[in-house]
Structure 1
């Protein structure tokens, strides 16, 4: 396995991780906004 393919896999994992974290953060924010509206 060459180093370039390892790096590309690493970058894909990082981008996927940030995408998941971003969508999770959006979910939490929208939940908090809904809760604030009902209080």
Structure 2
């Protein structure tokens, strides 16, 4: 952890993006469903 390389940073960013997509897509879908189903 003393000398983090560029490769590890790229892997961490890729994992963060994958996690954000995995969480964000259902969140946005449920939000849109609530907005469209509200009278």
Q: Normalised by the shorter chain, which TM-score bucket? A: 0.5 to 0.7
Bigger helix fraction: 1
Count of residue pairs brought into register by the alignment: 36
Unpaired runs of at least 5, structure 2: none
For residues 20 and 37 of structure 1, the distance between their equivalents in structure 2, rounded to whole angstroms, comes to: 26
CA RMSD of aligned residues (A): 2.0
* TM-score calculated relative to the size of structure 1: 0.61
